[in-house]
Amino acid sequence: MEVITDRVEMNRIVKNHKYKAKTIGFVPTMGFLHEGHLSLVKKAKQDNDITIMSIFVNPTQFGPNEDFETYPRDFERDRRLAENAGVNYLFAPSVDEMYPNEMGNQLSVMKRTNVLCGKSREGHFDGVITVLSKLFHIVIPDKAYFGKKDAQQIAVVEGLVHDYFFPIEIVAVETVREKDGLAKSSRNVYLSVDERREAPALYKSLELAKNVILNGEKSPAKIREKIKEYIQKNTSGIIDYIEIYSYPALEPIANIHGKVIIALAVKFSKARLIDNIIMELEQ
């Protein structure tokens, strides 16, 4: 595995592989890798000739009071994990490499962002699509891989690719979970011992909601209340949101039908955890 820090060099390498008709699978990350990231690598390797992973903690997607400075970083550990997983190239640019000058143009997301995480993180997804646009131009992937835990991000990125005609297929990969159901996340390290014990209740509440829906309940309000009661009973976390929307449009629905996302965010003392399930009901 080669580690590349220069964007021009990364682009040159990619173009050389493209000239040889090699397909490129791309896994963009912010590092502090876990099994969820590595599952994306596994899928990318199955689908493509060359797998490229990026590690870049993108400052433009963090708000003023968010955890950019303290976001967990361990590059040597990440490098070993990426190499052992079979990544061909690890692109790890600096902030100055990705943002060498003050931006003279701005990308802004107009749809799918005024709900879920986007509702409380103004400008977050603008930063996401900005850095991904840069990375897509550098890496020129055939396919890019994202985990379903960040389902809103996938919906936003699919919109970006569609609107700007990026010749890229976005591949959504199932959320990787701990044995007790907690979704893998770089932020799980912030949980206290007691909070870690409570955290699996988030996914259990979503499973409860799914079963209630399959048993005939179609009212979003009643489903949200079931989830709220379960989380409040089983955790010390503060609920940020519990929402049900159409997917991927992320629009409100009066009754549960078609493809929907049931999503939640819960704040613990030093970590805000998100989770979701996507399910499709016959019309």
Q: Which residues are annotated as a binding site?
A: 30-37, 61, 147-150, 153, 176, 184-187
Find the helix packing angle between 201-214 and 220-234, rounded to 10°: 150
Half-sphere exposure for 9 (CA within 13 Å, toward CB): 11
Sheet holding 258-267, edge to edge: 238-246, 258-267, 272-281
Which is the catalytic residue, given 17, 37, 124, 137? 37
Q: Annotate 190-212 with b (16+ C-beta within 10 A) or e (fewer).
A: bbeeebbebbbbbbbbbebbeeb
72 burial level (CB within 10 Å; 0-12, 13-18, 19+): middle
Q: Who's near 33: CB < 8 A, 6+ residues apart?
A: 77, 78, 81, 82
Q: Which residues are annotated as a binding site for ATP?
A: 30-37, 147-150, 176, 184-187
3-state secondary structure of 154: helix
Question: Could you confirm whether 162 is annotated as catalytic?
Answer: no
Q: From CA 49, how far away is CA 190, in angstroms rounded?
A: 37
DSSP state at residue 248: T
Nearest C-alpha neighbor of 236 from the set 196, 184, 205: 196
Q: Which residues are annotated as a binding site for (R)-pantoate?
A: 61, 153
Residues marked active site are found at 37
